[in-house]
Amino acid sequence: MNRMASSKKLLIAIILLAASLVYPQIKLPKLISDGMVLQREVKLKIWGWASPKENVTVKFLGKNYYTNADSNGAWLINLPKQKAGGPFRMEIDASNSIVINNILIGDVWVCSGQSNMELPMRRVSPLYQEEIANSQNDYIRQFTVPQKYNFKTPQKDFETGSWKSADPINVLDFSAAAYFFAKEIYSKHKVPIGIISTSLGGSPAQAWLSQEALKEFPRYYDEAQKFKDDNLIKEIEESDSKRINAWYSLLNQKDEGYKGNTVKWISEKLNTGDWDTMKIPGYWANTKLGAVNGAFWFRKNFLVTKSMAQKEAKLNLGCIVDADSTFVNGIFVGNVTYQYPPRRYEIPANVLKEGENTIVVRVVNSSGRGGFVLGKDYEIEAGDEKIDLKGEWIYKLGTKMEPLGSQTFIRWKAGGLHNAMLAPLFNFAIKGAAWYQGESNTWNPAEYRKLLPALINDWRNQWNVGDFPFLIMQLANFMEAKPYPTESNWAMLREAQLKTLSVKNTALAVGIDIGEWNDIHPLNKKDVGKRLALAAEKIAYNNKSIISSGPIFKSIKIEGSKAVLSFTNIGGGLVAKGNGQLKEFAIAGADKKFVWAKAEIVGSKIIVWSQEVTSPVAVRYAWADNPAEANLFNKEGLPASPFRTDDF
């Protein structure tokens, strides 16, 4: 009896398995899912997979749409244009049924680039606590594309992904720039806004180009072919892993403060008589140690009041080059493994005590100058009380190491991100794209003049919906300001972005005033979003009367010893922000040697001159990595783009 029952169950299982092989359940891409935002007022594509030749029906807004899957099981149904609104429901029927709920119709923006577009609200949260608390808005949603690469072929779907509505929890994972961009557009147009966030920190433009577009750049095309070899990728990854692990293993073996996997130098009672002193923030390359790499230990004693003792506290250690492990009174409170993220650690209750306390930071630096980044906050905060940690610390070298070469960032190689992070989007209708990228191409800014237009044309060809609006965020100011006119790859990259305005239906948002000299990831993403939204208002929402950017250089005329500059986008007029003199103008004669110049606004023009240059031929403005004093704006409060009149 039992044997017969078991045989019967096995037969049923085999039949069901066979049926599933012949009639696989209908499958949808990750984008076509609950909470999705569809683009209004354009034809829409709904697509997926089923059995070969299977009948598929899409039911939406009271109408039915039909198609058959092809011989490979792929199917696609075109829907007519739809007006903004929702939430709606969609049912898709084949051998099974799938219901998609909470669909909105509005505007969909692809927000892409590298880390400054990727940077989540969580990272910039200290600036935007109120905005986060008030972020509840079901009409702003984000789909985050998983960070993958593929060199072999454009992918048909993402491994993961879902639509999330803005609220105080979800918004922490939203792209900060994209969120403020979406929020600004929603406030003006009151239509649902869908963000597709597809960015990867450090990625160069060529990683986002298709195989076909890469043919214009033979070096990158060859690179894309090379990395189709899985064995090569595996070999590189294994070699990198072995080399890097060996370096850290040797470091830990040699580190006097970390012998035998025991952290020796965190004890409050440690004898530190032979430790040296160093001012924090700062770099040990400026001490007697010089520019060495390895493990370094830093300690500081600080006093805690009775009212602050035993409380939970926040520790802010600015930014550290490269990795840190941090202890308070011998208790581990956090670590970050690379330079850029801010160190914000939680100190548990009962760790701080009344009187003297000790903080110990182990810093591991594998190359370049190691230390504590200048211009950042280093403090402990509990309630209304703060303890400033800047000033004298003691330090000691745990061990010196030879510099460690960087890993091979395969994910940044040409074409890989296009195939994995863009290709699955191309059926999905969009309003336009916002692009914040370029830092990783500053090593060859002249090439970027071709790369960025090629990328725009490539994306438009792939989406095949015409010349959709493409918004470009110009690189912000970064690095130390120079006291004299200089050449700058960052300035040339900004120029390449500016020149891309010659491509139809593009717009530029300038950020030369919202960067941070000591951080490639400036926290002010609210103005980034606002300025991108202004650009969108002009070219995507056809508000022709709006002043969407600051002054853009138009022409130069030499009149004797002076240069007369004309501009577009002057709006209500040119102004020197702060009501002072115009800064960051430089002038040169035929010898091409630029010197600082005086500049004056006369009506709608700017007159530039210098007593050192009697016969000027060229003028530059804000031509530097960080033109810290750049102050040419229009009355609408938007900064002028950096420019040069020469291209020697």
Residue 50 has phi, psi (to 5 degrees) of -155, -165
Report the pLDDT value the prediction gives residue 2, as an integer from 0 to 100.
53
Does residue 455 share a domain with residue 357?
no
Report the pLDDT value the prediction gives residue 4, as an integer from 0 to 100.
53
Percent of the chain with pLDDT over 70: 96
Last residue of a domain, one of 489, 518, 549: 549
The rounded mean pLDDT for the chain is: 95
Helix residue spans in 1-107 (DSSP H): 2-22
Enter the tokens of residue 346: 């939680």
Does residue 564 share a domain with residue 530?
no
Model pLDDT for residues 153-207, shown as the tens digit of each residue: 999 999 999 999 999 999 999 999 999 999 999 999 999 999 999 999 999 999 9
Enter the tokens of residue 105: 């119709």
In a domain, 243, yes or no: no
The answer to whether 372 and 320 are in contact (CB under 8 A) is yes
Strands (E), 443-519: 470-473, 506-509
Model pLDDT for residues 306-326, shown as the tens digit of each residue: 999 999 999 999 999 999 999
Report the pLDDT value the prediction gives residue 15, as an integer from 0 to 100.
43
Q: What is the 8-class DSSP label of residue 495? A: H
In a domain, 289, yes or no: yes
Residue 639's domain spans which residues?
552-644
Report the pLDDT value the prediction gives residue 239, as an integer from 0 to 100.
98
Q: How many domains does the chain have?
A: 3
In a domain, 2, yes or no: no
Q: Which helix (H) or strand (E) holds 218?
A: helix 218-226
What CATH number does the domain containing 388 carry?
2.60.120.260
Report the pLDDT value the prediction gives residue 17, as an integer from 0 to 100.
46
Does residue 315 share a domain with residue 286?
yes
Does residue 454 share a domain with residue 388?
no
In a domain, 82, yes or no: no
The answer to whether 364 and 322 are in contact (CB under 8 A) is yes
Does residue 392 share a domain with residue 499?
no
In a domain, 180, yes or no: yes
Report the pLDDT value the prediction gives residue 20, as an integer from 0 to 100.
44
**Cα 213–Cα 76–Cα 192 angle in degrees, nearest 5:** 80
Model pLDDT for residues 353-395, shown as the tens digit of each residue: 999 999 999 999 999 999 999 999 999 999 999 999 999 999 9
Helix residue spans in 125-210 (DSSP H): 129-133, 176-189
Last residue of a domain, one of 493, 518, 549: 549
In a domain, 611, yes or no: yes
Does residue 513 share a domain with residue 492?
yes
In a domain, 10, yes or no: no
What Å distances lie between residue 371 and 77, 293, 323, 468, 625, CA to CA? 57, 10, 10, 45, 22
Q: DSSP readout, 107-130?
A: EEEEEEESHHHH-BHHHHGGG-HH
Q: Which helix (H) or strand (E) holds 55?
A: strand 55-60
- pLDDT < 70: residue spans in the chain: 1-24, 648
Percent of the chain with pLDDT over 90: 94
In a domain, 511, yes or no: yes
Does residue 531 share a domain with residue 632?
no
Report the pLDDT value the prediction gives residue 260, as an integer from 0 to 100.
74
Does residue 481 share a domain with residue 424?
yes
Residue type, 227: F
The answer to whether 164 and 173 are in contact (CB under 8 A) is yes
Of 52, 53, 75, 74, the residue nearest 65 (C-alpha): 75
Enter the tokens of residue 464: 């095949």
Does residue 581 share a domain with residue 545?
no
Q: Which residues contact 531 (CB under 8 A, 6 or more apart)?
A: 473, 509, 510, 511, 549, 638
